[in-house]
Structure formats: C-alpha cells, structure tokens
Structure 1
Amino acid sequence: MNKKTCVNDEIARDFRSKVDQILKKHSGIGVKKLTINMSQYYTAKDSCYVNSWLLIAVTPGIEELTLQLSMEEYNFPCSLLSNGSGESIRYLHLCGCSFRPTAELPWLKSLTKVRLHAVCFTGDELGSLLCNSFALERLVLTHCDEMVCLKIPCMLWRLSLPNLKIANINSRNEMANTPVLRSKFLHLKKLIIRPRTTTFSYDYFSLVSLIDACPSLETLILDVSQEKMEQVSIFTDPSDLRKGQQHHKMKRVKILGFTSAKSLVELTCHFLESVTSLEYLTLESYQSIPRCSMRANKCRKCFPLPIDVLREAQRGLLAIRTYIEPKVPSMVKLRVVEPCRRCHAAVEL
C-alpha cells in the first residue's frame, strides 16, 4: 500500500463518516436533489453505505439523482425507485455501476434527461428504463460496454420517445448495421454517435435509415475514429455510389476520423446531394491526442501516430478531393481538418 492509497483511504473514511452522519439525521422527506460522487475512491466495501444513503434520500418528490462511482460491480438498487419514489425523477445520472431495471417497474415517467456513463446494462434493460419515459428530451450514453451500439441499441430505436431532442451515444461495443426503423423521433434535433468498436464491416450508409426516422434533425456528429481501417476503400471499389431520399432540416454534419471507406464516402455524398438545408460540413481525419499547443512559451508536440494511420488519413483526404469536393454546393461551407503538418511529416500513399 503506497502513500497515495493511504491518503485516498483516509479521504474515503472521512467522506463516509460525514455523509453518514448527515443523512442519518435527515428524514429524507423534501429532498429534491441528491448527488453522491465517490468516483475517485469508491471500493466494494462502500456498497452498504451507498445503499443506506439512497434508501434515506430517494423518496417520493425527489427530482434529480446523481450517483458517480468507480466500479461497475455495484448494482444500483432499482427497487428503491418503485412505490412512487421514482415517478418524480426528472434527471438521472449514473456512473460506474450496474443498472438492471425490469419491465415490472413502471416508474420514471417524469424523466426529461438521462445520462449513463460506464454503466453495465443490456438493450432490454435500457428498454425497461425508457419504455414509459415519454417526457425524455436528452439521452447521453457513454462507454456502456454491454450495450449493442448502432442498433444504438436496436431496442432504443424501437421505443416511443416523442420528445427526445438530444441523443449522445458513445459505446465501446460491437457494431451492427443500423436497421430500418419503425419509430419516428419527431423532435430529435442533435445526434452524436461515437462508436468504439473492433468490428470493421459496418456499412455507414445504413445510417440513412436512422436519419429518415429523425425529420427534425439539425446536427449530426459522427466519430468513426479507429487506428485500423479494414473496410472496403472507395479506391478499391469506385463503382456507382448509393443514394438516399431528400432531407430538409439538417444544417450541420461533422465526421471525425474520416477515412476512404466507401460507405463513409457514400454517406457524405448523400448529405451533399440530398440534404437541401445543409450549411456546414466538417470532415476531420484521425487526430493525435493530445495535439500540439503553445503554453507558457513551451511547445508541446502532437502524440505520434502510426504510419498506417497517417497513410489512411492521406487516402481519406484524397477521397475528399476526388469524390466529395466536386459535389459541394456553393451554399455549403466545407471544412477539412488534416493531421498536424508540423508534427506529422507527409507520407506516401
């Protein structure tokens, strides 16, 4: 056990003691907002404390509940939200735990915003959470490993969420092609998709069916950054590109980690040819993290990138110049972001 561990254990004991004293003196009646942040030093032995705090504070009338832990082994006690305790919750933010709601719990009808980060659940469990959330306006899912991404998950898009306005989906799991959707997200205005996947066969053009289900969508941010591009390149198969139907509300499209993948080029060309309201298109190649900067007269260089990544970035730029730039209407502002030329020397294709 090092000095840092000892300090963290002492902080954790002090935190548990103070919170325990405060909440045990409180009846729980009248609590509107509860935030528990133990993300820096939560351990498995703290679960009994967290359970007791939630039992005290999560009562009918609570409107905001935030629980930030650091271990997915903690199982959020969903039963606490039954018997009316969850019906008033408008904002639910869970981090670093498992969440296993079931269809037998008809609660959370007042939800307007849900944020789940590093939370374990399945598509069916997400469906159980949201099936009665008709007021939901904002949904943020980040690094939720068990979720099937870009079915996004498929269960999510089968639900009726008529008031959803912003959806932010970030998953590290496998991708499957987006299915034709039966639901309509009439008020969804901003969609952010950041799949973190090891599957390279995804057909990006299948996202057109998702956009078709979002007639009010104005902003789409798609982050497809991956170090290894194994999809069919537009230069390998330059045959006719697929087309989709027209859209009239989209104003801003941003694609991060742009490559020469044919389906990605097809999707981008679709936006230029079929989205009549498009104003801004940003295509950004794979970038170093961190990037170079000047601070206090000190220059920090970009983190090195593998040569294969730089070569694919160059192919992506060539695909933009060859297939995309000629189709950019005069009213659309195209912004192309290359890898840092100062830190990454030009490579041959």
Structure 2
Amino acid sequence: MDIWHHILSLLPLADAARAGCVSQTFRSSWRSHPNLTLSMETLRLDGDTCREDKLARVFTKRVNRIMRKHSGGVKTFNLSYNYLRSFLDTSYLNRWLEIAVTTGIEEVKLSMPLGRTAVRYEFPCPVLSNGSGNSIRHLHLSRCAFHPTVGLRCLTRLFLLEVHITRDELGHLLSNSLAMEELCLNSCHKIIRLKISCLLHRFSCLSVFHCKSLEVIENRAPNLCFVRIDGAVEKLPVGDLLQMKRLHMLDYYESDLVHDARSKLPFIMPNLETLNLSSAGEMFNTPILTVRFLFLKNLLIDLNADRGAFPHPMIIFL
C-alpha cells in the first residue's frame, strides 16, 4: 500500500483521479493524494458550455466531494477560483482550508475571483494557529483579506496580490517568520510603510509593484541582495544597500529612470552586478561621472517610446 501511495502521489491530480477508478486499492491511494491543485483546468470544466452561475455550482460540488473524501496528509493545496466571477460560498472554502491546512502542509495557494465585482474573501487565519501553519514554506494569496495574528515558523516565500493587509499585520507576520527568504507585494494598497526586521537573516529577495499607498520601505535585513520595484530611485529600501547585487526597476509610466539610476545608484549600490531598467522616456542625456559600476556584469535597458518622449539621441555612460 505504501508503494501505491507513493506512485500515485507522483502523478498529476487528474491522472491520479483516473487511476482511482481502476480498483478499490487505487481509490484509497487517490484519496490521500498529497498535492491538490483544484482549478477549472484540473477539474475539466469548460466555461463555454454552461452559464457562469451553473459553472460555479459544479466547481463547488466537485471540490467539496474531493475534500470531504480526502484522508489528510496534504502537502500542497492550490485552489484557483479566479476564472469565476460568481462568488464562492465562504462556508465551503473555510471548510476546505480546515481540511487541507494541517501539520505537514508546505504550500498554500489561493486565488479568488477577478474583477471589481468580486466580493472580498477573508482568509480564516485561525486555521494557521495551534501549530497547523508552522510547516508552511510557501504562501500565495490573491484577491482576499488577510489578517494574520501569528508568525509562520517555516515560511520562506510570501506572495500577496491585491490582498487587504495592514502594515502592522504584515510587520508582525514578518518579524515572527524568521525563515523568510522572499517577499512579493503586488497591488496591496493598505500598506503605507513596510518594515523588514533585522532578525530576518535569510531574507534576500524583495519585490514591490503597484502598491500605490506605500511611502517608505525600511529594510534592516542584513542580507537583502535582490530588489524588484516599480518607480524611481526614491522608492528603494532605506538602509544599508552595499550588499545589493541585483536590481530591477520596471515602470513604463515613470520617466528618467536611466538618468536617475546613473546619477545615484553608483553611490548607494556600488556592488551591483545585475541592473534591469524599464523607462517610459528619457528627456536628458545621462551624466558623465567619475564613479562607475565597477562590478556590473549584466545590464538591460528597456525604453518604451510609445509612452515617453525622446527629443534627441541618448548617450548613456555606465
């Protein structure tokens, strides 16, 4: 039985479900499949064959049947509901998370409906308490509210897209998740000030995009070396940036990024090895300075002429 469990655990979810139709032995193994990826694709649902409200009911019914019969031991739980605008009954979703998020789970991904008409789902943070969330290494949440009250001991990667979370809630989570290595924030408009604790010795990668209320990034993590950010140099983290090795500044609505990068970055990030810049337009030639990027190995400059203005040929001195 252990061998069958192991073999079926290596199959994609749809294939494991088919194998479960062969015999009673296979069916019991399928019900303990450790990797649950539940989406329109994996459940073989075609949005063109029925109305959206009916499609939502079928999706809910199938997922509910899978979760009720599952025997536990989930390692990865990936629920993608973002192709349906009809809101999912929260009582079902909370019940599924209670079944999935138990001791031993390593990855949780939750994607809620797209569009402004979607109702904001509030992630049930109590499922992470009492040690249930301590084994989670990757947490990926999209379009929901998230108000954590505890840290996650093994969390290494946190991705939040259009998530309602305050700076204090995020700061508490980060300061109590000491294994954190990577943080990605996209369109999290409740965050005004982002603080990264000095206790996060493994923290090395930070990505921040479209967080329109964010004013200050205060970094105290000693080993941050890779930053991806939209906007001007002023948006870069405040703190010791001498260890910075890779920087991506990507914004097709911001102008003069190349000019600002050339005039300011050599002084605050002298050890850069990789630099990617995307600019909407450059109005002036970059300055000729005595200070240069002495360790730069990879450079990519993307200029979007459709959005910016280039009144005369540019000269870039690096």
**TM-score, structure 1 normalization:** 0.65
C-alpha distance in 1 between matches for 2:283 and 2:161: 30
- Are the structure 2 counterparts of residues 265 and 223 from structure 1 closer, same or farther at C-alpha, using a change threshold of 3 Å? farther
- Please state whether the residue corresponding to 1:156 is helix, strand or coil: strand
Which residue identity lines up with residue 294 of structure 2 in the other structure?
T
- Please state whether the residue corresponding to 1:43 is helix, strand or coil: coil
C-alpha distance in 1 between matches for 2:110 and 2:293: 41
Instruction: Work out which of the residue numbers 264, 276, 285 in structure 2 matches 1:254.
Output: 276
C-alpha distance in 2 between matches for 1:96 and 1:10: 22
- Are the structure 2 counterparts of residues 280 and 61 from structure 1 closer, same or farther at C-alpha, using a change threshold of 3 Å? closer
Indicate if the aligned counterparts of 1:185 and 1:214 stay in contact, CA closer than 8 A: no
Q: Unmatched 5+ residue regions in structure 1? A: 149-153, 196-203, 235-240, 288-304, 329-349
- Please state whether the residue corresponding to 1:155 is helix, strand or coil: strand
User: Once the 2 structures are TM-superposed, how far is the Cα of residue 281 of structure 1 from its aligned partner?
Assistant: 3.0
User: Once the 2 structures are TM-superposed, how far is the Cα of residue 91 of structure 1 from its aligned partner?
Assistant: 0.7
C-alpha distance in 2 between matches for 1:10 and 1:243: 55
Instruction: Work out which of the residue numbers 57, 73, 85 in structure 2 matches 1:13.
Output: 57
Paired position in structure 1 for 2:220? 183
Indicate if the aligned counterparts of 2:174 and 2:196 stay in contact, CA closer than 8 A: no
Is 1:25 equivalent to 2:72 in the alignment?
no
Is 1:166 equivalent to 2:205 in the alignment?
yes
Is 1:99 equivalent to 2:146 in the alignment?
yes
C-alpha distance in 1 between matches for 2:281 and 2:264: 18
Q: Deviations over 1:182-240 (max 9, x none)?
A: 61431x33211125xxxxxxxx4435764x6244322111013217x6x9xx8xxxxxx
Identical residues among aligned pairs (%)? 29
Which residue identity lines up with residue 82 of structure 2 in the other structure?
S
Is 1:156 equivalent to 2:195 in the alignment?
yes
Which residue identity lines up with residue 189 of structure 2 in the other structure?
D
Which residue identity lines up with residue 106 of structure 2 in the other structure?
E
1:219-238 correspondence runs (5 A):
219-226=246-253
Instruction: Work out which of the residue numbers 62, 73, 88 in structure 1 matches 2:105.
Output: 62
Indicate if the aligned counterparts of 2:101 and 2:128 stay in contact, CA closer than 8 A: yes
C-alpha distance in 2 between matches for 1:243 and 1:26: 53
- Are the structure 2 counterparts of residues 42 and 34 from structure 1 closer, same or farther at C-alpha, using a change threshold of 3 Å? farther
Paired position in structure 1 for 2:229? 193
Which residue identity lines up with residue 90 of structure 1 in the other structure?
R
C-alpha distance in 1 between matches for 2:55 and 2:236: 50
Paired position in structure 2 for 1:140? 184
Indicate if the aligned counterparts of 1:72 and 1:98 stay in contact, CA closer than 8 A: no
C-alpha distance in 2 between matches for 1:251 and 1:17: 51
C-alpha distance in 1 between matches for 2:294 and 2:244: 13
Which residue identity lines up with residue 21 of structure 1 in the other structure?
R
Paired position in structure 1 for 2:133? 86
Q: Unmatched 5+ residue regions in structure 2? A: 1-46
C-alpha distance in 2 between matches for 1:251 and 1:280: 6
User: What CA RMSD, in Å, does the superposition of the two structures yield over aligned residues?
Assistant: 3.3
Which residue identity lines up with residue 226 of structure 2 in the other structure?
K
C-alpha distance in 1 between matches for 2:49 and 2:167: 37
- How many aligned positions are there? 265
Paired position in structure 2 for 1:282? 300
C-alpha distance in 1 between matches for 2:124 and 2:75: 19
Paired position in structure 2 for 1:331? none
